[in-house]
């Protein structure tokens, strides 16, 4: 069931509804706010729309990197599992 949550990003309050736990939503909002403020400092850009787009791209880059790492890990686990199954099957035949 969706619960109401109020978050603040870049000084703007947003009210939304989410299936996630309120604490998790606030942690996500804090991550977005921190990323936006860091970009604002490093680029010295005051335009909120540009900062929002750059922040979205940065967080998307983080997400894609994690997805790649996850896919690589899944492949390693799958390969190790196959190797173990083959080894067990070989030993069972002996």
Q: Using 50, 70 and 90 to split pLDDT, how confident is the model at 84?
A: very high
Q: Using 50, 70 and 90 to split pLDDT, how confident is the model at 23?
A: very high
User: Which residues share a beta bridge with 8?
Assistant: 13
Q: What is the number of structural domains in the chain?
A: 1
| pLDDT of amino acid 1 | 78
Compute CA distances 33 → 40, 57, 67, 73, whole Å.
10, 14, 22, 30
Mean pLDDT of the chain: 94
The parent domain of residue 46 ranges over: 3-93
pTM over 0.85: no
């Amino acid at each position: 069931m969706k619960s109401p949550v109020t978050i603040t990003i870049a000084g703007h309050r947003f009210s939304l509804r989410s299936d996630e736990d309120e604490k998790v939503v606030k942690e996500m909002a804090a991550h977005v706010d921190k990323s936006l403020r860091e970009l604002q400092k490093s680029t010295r850009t005051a335009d909120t729309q540009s900062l929002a787009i750059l922040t979205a791209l940065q967080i998307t880059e983080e997400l894609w990197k994690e997805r790649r790492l996850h896919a690589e890990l899944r492949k390693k686990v799958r390969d190790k599992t196959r190797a173990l199954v083959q080894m067990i099957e070989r030993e069972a035949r002996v």
